[in-house]
């Protein structure tokens, strides 16, 4: 089981991913519509975001934007090629997807947990006979 990310590392990932989402496939050319599976696959391949985050981001982008806008986001060579509203929307998606990932991660308070009862020296039913 992996350790959950600290808020500080989540912040770093958030800012890294905010740029990466806008530039998920920087320099990818072509006139064909980008398929949802290709968008997510490329996002996952080019970033270190967890699969649940790339799935969340892809789902939100395809739900919010029409295919032409998805293509524009996918093919943006620089962040400046995207308007302020698009960048703001993508940043909001990032925030929501990373917050969902953080909430889904198990808490790590340093205490070991187990399903086995504590061994306090008391005899079990079998031992007491």
Domain that holds residue 44: 7-103
The structural domain count of the chain equals 1
What pLDDT, in 10s, does the model give residues 12-41? Answer: 455 455 545 544 444 455 668 999 999 998
- Distance of alpha carbon 83 from the chain centroid: 23
pTM: 0.62
CA distance 129 to 124: 8
Residue 49 belongs to some domain of the structure? yes
What pLDDT, in 10s, does the model give residues 75-88? Answer: 887 778 889 999 89
Residue 84 belongs to some domain of the structure? yes
From the list 42, 46, 44, the residue with the least C-alpha distance to 30 is: 42
Residue 44 has pLDDT above 90, yes or no: no
Residue 1 belongs to some domain of the structure? no
CA distance 42 to 37: 8
């Amino acid at each position: 089981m992996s350790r959950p990310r600290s808020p500080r590392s989540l912040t770093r990932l958030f800012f890294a991913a905010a740029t990466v989402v806008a530039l998920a496939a920087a320099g990818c050319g072509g006139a064909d519509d980008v398929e949802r599976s290709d968008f997510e696959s490329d996002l996952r391949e080019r970033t270190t975001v967890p699969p649940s985050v790339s799935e969340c981001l892809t789902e939100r982008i395809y739900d919010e934007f029409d295919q032409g806008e998805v293509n524009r986001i996918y093919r943006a060579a620089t962040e400046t090629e995207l308007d302020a509203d698009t960048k703001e929307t993508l940043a909001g998606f990032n925030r929501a997807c990373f917050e969902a990932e953080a909430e889904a991660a198990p808490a790590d308070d340093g205490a070991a947990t187990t399903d086995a009862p504590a061994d306090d020296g008391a005899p079990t039913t079998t031992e007491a006979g």
